[in-house]
Chain A
């Protein structure tokens, strides 16, 4: 069955050919333009002021992005790289050119999505009105289909650009792309040649009838006509999860997959079977279960997997992620010539990026070492906080601490949580005194004294 979009477009052409001869064509066109107008009334500009801790102190920055209202009560879908938990002030400009404040409902850097909510009291008080967009079915898109990107590129509000779907299944996994957070492991992206520029981020990619089929999120810097959007169906599901729980909880097994490409024959596999385990995270459930880099996973929970091409990896990874945390996962694994079944219990997926904070009087800003960061960097455990900024001339700088050091203890108390460091800092603020700091640099341990 041909997608509806195509029918509508075909009808549009018919309409010009037999101008006004059939009532059907006119009403279809009218419906289309109504849908698009409604969408335009749901697209917003988002101005964000946020705090950054990188420089050993708190700094404030300002940025602009786009978003689309998706519900009557003012929920807005945008990118996680537009609005993150660092945002301290979010201001939304509606199509009616009214500015309303909003707050973050939840964010998910893995899919680069965030949900905001307009301040309901303010909306009611000022009697503001707005439209909300409808989702189309992004699974039914076809390559070559006409699409429109709507947003605020470079601050130019309410810009519409046009293009086609260039690819429906683009694979992008990046460990640092969303403000230093991981992204892209669990979904593929829509690729379009509709112009997407900085500031388009978070705006919708729509069909001619105004249905949202994607959230524009990235372009290639320096390339023309290579824009990427999160598929609408992924966005819809994540938005529901964020509204319900404020976060998306995923399962983690510690398997890093790689595309098998044309190695099936080498591994003596039957056609279209298996996914290569490129590596296994140290200390992860998969490592404990004995899965190793170079193994081939043939089936997950009894269902055959096929991971020959990179774009086939996200669905496999998403399947594991979708399980409740603590699920037992059964893998059929080929190791050399031997095939065995292994079971593992999933953990909660955690970002490598931990909570950040700035100890202003010490002149040091830090990020808590997460379990993932510790494993990745082969640290013995997740005790400690990574120095991400140093204020020149302040006690931490004078003592000799540097960016990249991991502060493991302060006054001989291990930094198991950021709260431990905060309470020690509070003590210092009350009564400044020389403070002994133990820090790890690469693999060496050194001691420092921070003096008031």
Chain B
């Protein structure tokens, strides 16, 4: 989800320009409709705070995020940044849902993430169901589309120390753009990220995304020329994904915590083609992307896609022109994500000036880092994790015959850290013996850990293509 965020940063100056222009007069004149305050009060039942605990090898931390209720079963969606994907699902524990204004939460269940939207799904416990209202209750059959200059308002929540008290934010829409999903940008913050936005009539118009950076220049006594700064409001956001785009995603409730199956094409490094290059290649008025690498044994490779091919159309549909250019890469990724493994996806590519049609059959993605088995060895001072496909990609090596395990975590000042082991080191041998599989490695390490007579052990690790011997002293 990095790309859309960056795209939003791009828009910051644009938004400021809108903010500077004199705002049009408020358009809500109807006196018969209920007040915003009344609508707001009723709709605070659509929002919750979700707290969970991240267990790491050496500590546990509580994390709070805000979510929106999307159905009558108490399903709650959290924005992508609510959970760091570096952690495996079994490290995420003690999910609790707090209703706005409540000091005490009730246990909830983490359902997993939807790989397409990146949203996480949590389900509230039965005890809270009667007090929750799905936001879909406030969506007309034909989803409300926010219009330019329309008055929109939303809900934000205070912190845990203030019992997650809800408060009201309101603004006017200044821009609607495809990033690549239709996104509305208001003049000011309209909701906490992950919480819903409504129009004057109280209809659901979208969900606030993570906020984006705004450019400022800071002047000080010493720095009179002004220091450019970018500020991001992490508590409130002025950008929201429009309702027609959100509603279908509410239905994508994962059936497992990993969000499997995950459609996979197997390209690496999609780079947007800028307008100058597009004109040069005679592909004006559309977006396109260069494929930097085609990953081993991937559907893309099997279909004959090559490094440097330029993707110009998917399933016969020319890639629409996006501003900024960079949005095209997330567009292509979403096109893949909205499919299922086994589906075919036709790519039209430009190769040496020739147009080629390639038919790919998407596969289920190889095991992800967060799915990989791992085990922490307290006495040795590190966590060994199975070597997965993305490890091979990151190290530019073939996955097919890779052996060994990854040092997923190295305890600071622990024996392994003192000996020089670093997070991300690729352990290939333990005590001079090659470890072919994760199980072999874990068995060896467990034996060392359990042997009180052991005073040292030796690892052969690869780091940045270099191999070195690390001798770890125990005791």
Chain A residues engaging chain B, CB cutoff 8 angstroms: 256, 258, 263, 266-267, 276-280, 282, 292-294, 336-337, 376, 378, 399-400, 412, 434, 436, 438, 440, 443-449, 451
Contacts and interface: CB of A to CB of B under 8 A. Distances in A.
Contacts, number: 87
B125 to A, nearest CB: 46
Contact of B269 (A256, A378, A444): A444
B468 A446 contact: no
B433 A279 contact: no
Q: Is the interface of B mostly helix, strand, loop or mixed?
A: strand
A399 B280 CA distance: 13
A294 B277 contact: no
Interface string B424-437: 00001100111000
19 contacts: A258-B469, A263-B469, A266-B432, A279-B468, A292-B467, A294-B428, A336-B433, A399-B276, A440-B292, A443-B292, A443-B396, A444-B290, A445-B269, A445-B271, A445-B290, A446-B290, A447-B277, A447-B290, A449-B279
B219 interface: no
B420 to A, nearest CB: 13
B375 to A, nearest CB: 23
User: Most chain-B CB neighbours within 10 Å: which of A279, A412, A436?
Assistant: A279
Nearest to A282: B465
Contact of B396 (A263, A277, A378): A378
A412 B354 CA distance: 13
B308 A293 contact: no
B416 interface: no
A378 B293 CA distance: 13
B291 to A, nearest CB: 8
Nearest to B431: A266
Nearest to B428: A294
B290 A279 contact: no
The number of chain B residues touching the other chain, given as a range, is 20 to 34
Given A294-B460, A445-B271, A436 B467 contact: no
B90 interface: no
Interface in B254-297: 268-269, 271, 273-274, 276-277, 279-281, 290-293
A274 B170 CA distance: 74
Interface in B442-475: 458, 460, 462, 465-469, 471
Contacts of B277: 436, 447-449
B432 A293 contact: no
Contacts of B460: 293-294
B352 interface: yes
Nearest to B456: A266
Nearest to B433: A336
Contacts of A336: 429, 432-434
B471 A263 contact: yes
A444 B269 CA distance: 5
Nearest to A435: B280
A293 B269 contact: no
A277 B469 CA distance: 10
Contacts of B471: 263, 266
Given A267-B432, A438-B308, A447-B273, A293 B292 contact: no
Contact of A266 (B268, B352, B458, B467): B458
User: Most chain-B CB neighbours within 10 Å: which of A258, A280, A443, A447?
Assistant: A447
B214 interface: no
Contacts of A280: 467
A191 B342 CA distance: 68
Contacts of A276: 469
Contact of B467 (A279, A412, A443, A444): A279
Nearest to A399: B276
A256 B466 contact: yes
A443 B269 contact: yes
A449 B469 contact: no
A446 B396 CA distance: 19
Contacts of A412: 352
B132 to A, nearest CB: 45
A66 B126 CA distance: 86
A293 B276 contact: no
A293 B268 contact: no
Contacts of A278: 466-469
Given A412-B352, A436-B277, A451-B276, A294 B466 contact: no
Contacts of B276: 399, 434, 448-449, 451
B307 interface: yes
Contacts of A449: 276-277, 279-280
Nearest to B280: A449
Contacts of B269: 443-445
User: Most chain-A CB neighbours within 10 Å: which of B290, B307, B429, B467?
Assistant: B467
A408 to B, nearest CB: 9
Nearest to A380: B307
Contacts of B310: 447
Contacts of B268: 443
A337 B277 CA distance: 57
Contact of A376 (B273, B352, B465): B465
Contact of B462 (A277, A293, A443): A293
Contacts of B429: 294, 336
B468 to A, nearest CB: 6
Interface string B158-172: 000000000000000
Given A294-B432, A412-B352, A445-B292, 10 more contacts: A256-B466, A277-B467, A293-B467, A336-B434, A337-B432, A376-B465, A443-B269, A445-B269, A445-B307, A446-B271
A444 B326 CA distance: 13
A209 to B, nearest CB: 46
A451 B352 CA distance: 21
Contacts of B280: 434, 436, 449
B196 to A, nearest CB: 37
A277 B466 CA distance: 10
A344 to B, nearest CB: 18
B468 A258 contact: yes
Contacts of A293: 428, 460, 462, 466-468
B401 to A, nearest CB: 13
Contacts of A277: 467
B297 to A, nearest CB: 18
B292 A444 contact: yes
Nearest to A440: B292
A267 B433 CA distance: 11
A318 B293 CA distance: 39
Interface in B308-333: 308, 310
CB-CB nearest 6 A-B residue pairs: A293-B467, A444-B269, A294-B460, A444-B292, A445-B292, A279-B467
Contacts of B432: 266-267, 294, 336-337
Contacts of A399: 276
